[in-house]
Amino acid sequence: MSYDWDTLIGELQTTTGETLYMVLASTVVAVLLGTPLGILLHVTAPNGLNPRPVTHQVVGAVVDVVRSLPFVVLLIALTEVTHAIVGTSIGSTASIVPLAIGAVPFFGRLVQNVLREVNASVVEAAITTGATRAKIVRSVLLRESAPGLVAAVGVTAVALLGYSAVAGLLGGGGLGDLAIRKGYQGYDNTALYMSVAVLGVIALILQFVFDFAARAIDKRRSAAI
């Protein structure tokens, strides 16, 4: 009995689109919300531009608690929240909610770490010119750390790709759902291995694209100096 490749290829195309949709949408949300979160953590740190120990510790604690939760636990815990936001708790659109919520603190910490690597003398020079904190953040911290921030987006996108596969456990759609539903539960090893292979290829492409972009930005900055 020949294998139905046409059906599998069609399912792979559909679920790959769902996976990319989940990953890209949640990555955008993570960047939009995680960047200011990371800036807040950096600026309010003891050696930051505006030290606020209490704020820094409280926000940092919340970030670490959310980051420490296994994604499958977060997925289940946010079922009602997801349903309230998108009207359902299953499917690729619903999966974006827990994916984004889990990614925001993750990316926020990455941003904080990248900003921490900015040369202190550059920041001090901006302070001596009378630049405001907002301008220092925008024109010094973010500009100087641009390559690292782009690389951090890549790390986040690849992590979200793995999380999106876990979402398939609860009907989240995408390649993870295909691998579990048809591959594992349906005893279809071909579907299982093909789903894993496509996930691997997407991860490699994402990492390459963001690494390339980070290097390109770094070269332009070096040439401009």
DSSP sequence for 22-74 = HHHHHHHHHHHHHHHHHHHHHHTSTTSSS--HHHHHHHHHHHHHHHHS-HHHH
Structural domain count, the chain:
1
CATH number at 27 reads 1.10.3720.10
Q: What would the pLDDT profile of 179-213 be if each residue is shown by its tens digit?
A: 999 999 999 999 999 999 999 999 999 999 999 99
What does the pLDDT read at residue 172? 84
Q: Is residue 76 part of a domain?
A: yes
Q: How does the average pLDDT of the chain come out, rounded?
A: 92
Q: Is residue 149 part of a domain?
A: yes
Q: Is residue 225 part of a domain?
A: no
Q: Is residue 91 part of a domain?
A: yes
Q: Is residue 203 part of a domain?
A: yes
Q: 159 is in which domain, residue-wise?
A: 5-220
What does the pLDDT read at residue 1? 62
DSSP sequence for 167-196 = HGGGT--HHHHHIIIIIITTT-HHHHHHHH
